[in-house]
Structure 1
């Protein structure tokens, strides 16, 4: 695919269905999948056709609405009972991303609070899903601007390292970590993005680099194991990554490999920022040890482009995420501004 995409929106509602960019086919092929049933949305989330915590939340919200349209009853209690089953189906898809559960909870609360007819509840659910999507886009733009404000001031333009994909593809549009990068590029403060390839699914190589190319942002792909070397060679000024869930003490779950990146950044005295919506913070969890970590099929490691690359008989361990302790994180960039991890407790008790 040689043509560029001007605006990247991974989840698009149109008429009575959802278009999803099939992220499993990028960058070789830009393809949109039509989703018109809640079961298909659940499968799309599970198989990572749509991925990234905020984008999963938006997709799940539309999945809840699609599930609501499939319920044929005029009895309110039966409708709510069936909608709860749709919620359970969607909850089972990806256990780590808190935005999934947050969006489902908002959709259920909307159904509970709507006092009209079943059809009016369905209309209200669609409006809520669209509102969640619009909110996320505005949130990401605010994250980008807050991130720009705290990036290091250097004589030269910045070289930013990022991991996995926390861009438009992972959100309603614009991105979190890549939103900060976009804002820096817009203000002519960015020299280059270094994108970790992000084994085993290569979201950095396949998706982050693709997004940068669409906007002519200079990008260099490196293997995950090259990051510390690049820091040692003074090629990196700052690290900005996304998050799938942040515990109440600031410990952060993100794509596997983030923890080692944070250790390397601290060793080389390089600022390490996490960019994420405030909704990613799970105040119900005291620390990162309570964050559920999704484990995926070992075939993601053993095979590349459907070809086996490992010795037969070997065993595999494939956690999709790791947890970076709060003391390795310089700041959490949210739509509310940049927060020091140890200050999160003040938000929980309402001092801000």
Structure 2
């Protein structure tokens, strides 16, 4: 029996409401429309799971559970194949799912490969690989949540007893655990969320989790960050990260860099949460994704620019280490220039 720490969190942070395999189908909460609509995309093949991830049906850390559920689905798809063909099918699925989002493919490969190994082991032991990969996915996600809970404890230890923090995009479970932790410590903390294009994840997701967990939360547009820092007396800027490089730089949702610049100028610390990525030394190792230009010329499907006007949409940006005050991990709090030390005696990381 796995101790499911996700059950303590808001609706959309519970595993069944992120991505879940059941009887030949993976259901994924469509975060592009939540909370205004509660719709689950139904995927009948692992390739459909991969497309749902690339189409941002789920994002932030949602894909890390979705790819594991996709591996269980691949096990179902291949149930009529002989042993060798089934292993080949699962191996190909492992690669397809891991590469659904190029920027985070290394992290996702750690998950799909672990599920694959568990599945092959089950096949060779005449056991059900679907069940083996499904439970491996839950096990990995539970383990990650437990680490993030510890990260939240370390993060909140640096919060004032009374203050206001600014977030960027949607940090997934760190948001829920952070709120739990400052409430447990009786700290009076207000949260300000930047809205975040293209699906307004900060406004819809971060703010919803905060509201459901009884936190004081306010939404601002993406171009209000500097003014808000000055006039709302922001004490701390914090974000999760899609990648934390071993040189201390942060790759995260586009806009993080400019908020970090404003924070540095105004003397506000920027604390990034997560574990560094072992295979990412710096900018040269980052594959930046670009989104369809229509996400700039329209908002939530409504055209905002004249037909023929061009758009430009890099999905992530790179914040250099001199703008990062600290990297907050499950093993402790590091200077960005010392974050490589995280792996001394520890080989797992967050994922």
The answer (yes or no) to whether the contact 1:252–1:288 under 8 Å persists in 2 is no
Compared CA separation, residues 62 and 350, structure 1 to 2 (3 A): same
Aligned counterpart in structure 2 of residue 179 of structure 1, from 156, 177, 180? 177
Q: 2 CA distance for matches of 1:81 and 1:338?
A: 42
Pick which of 262-271 and 37-46 moved more. 37-46
The aligned counterpart of 2:279 is 284
Q: 1 CA distance for matches of 2:137 and 2:279?
A: 24
2:251 partner SS: strand
Q: How does 1:173-322 map to 2 (within 5 A)?
A: 175-233=173-231, 235-276=233-274, 278=275, 281-322=276-317
Gaps of 5+ in 2: 1-8
Residue 256 (structure 1) shift: 0.3
Q: 2 CA distance for matches of 1:347 and 1:218?
A: 33
Aligned counterpart in structure 1 of residue 51 of structure 2, from 39, 43, 65? 43
User: CA RMSD of the aligned region, Å?
Assistant: 2.4
TM-score of the two chains, using structure 1 as the length reference: 0.86
Aligned counterpart in structure 1 of residue 135 of structure 2, from 99, 115, 127? 127
Q: 2 CA distance for matches of 1:347 and 1:213?
A: 33
Q: 2 CA distance for matches of 1:128 and 1:21?
A: 20
Q: 2 CA distance for matches of 1:302 and 1:75?
A: 49
Q: Does structure 1 residue 90 correspond to structure 2 residue 81? A: no
Deviations 1:280-303 (A, max 9, x none): x32222213321111110111111
The answer (yes or no) to whether the contact 1:99–1:244 under 8 Å persists in 2 is no
Q: Does structure 1 residue 29 correspond to structure 2 residue 30? A: no
Compared CA separation, residues 116 and 160, structure 1 to 2 (3 A): same
Q: Does structure 1 residue 65 correspond to structure 2 residue 64? A: no
Q: 2 CA distance for matches of 1:178 and 1:332?
A: 19
TM-score of the two chains, using structure 2 as the length reference: 0.87
The answer (yes or no) to whether the contact 1:141–1:179 under 8 Å persists in 2 is yes
The answer (yes or no) to whether the contact 1:38–1:64 under 8 Å persists in 2 is yes
2:124 partner SS: coil
Aligned length: 334
The answer (yes or no) to whether the contact 2:29–2:58 under 8 Å persists in 1 is yes
Compared CA separation, residues 14 and 190, structure 1 to 2 (3 A): farther
Q: 2 CA distance for matches of 1:190 and 1:32?
A: 35
Residue 73 (structure 1) shift: 5.2
Q: 2 CA distance for matches of 1:26 and 1:115?
A: 38
The aligned counterpart of 1:159 is 164
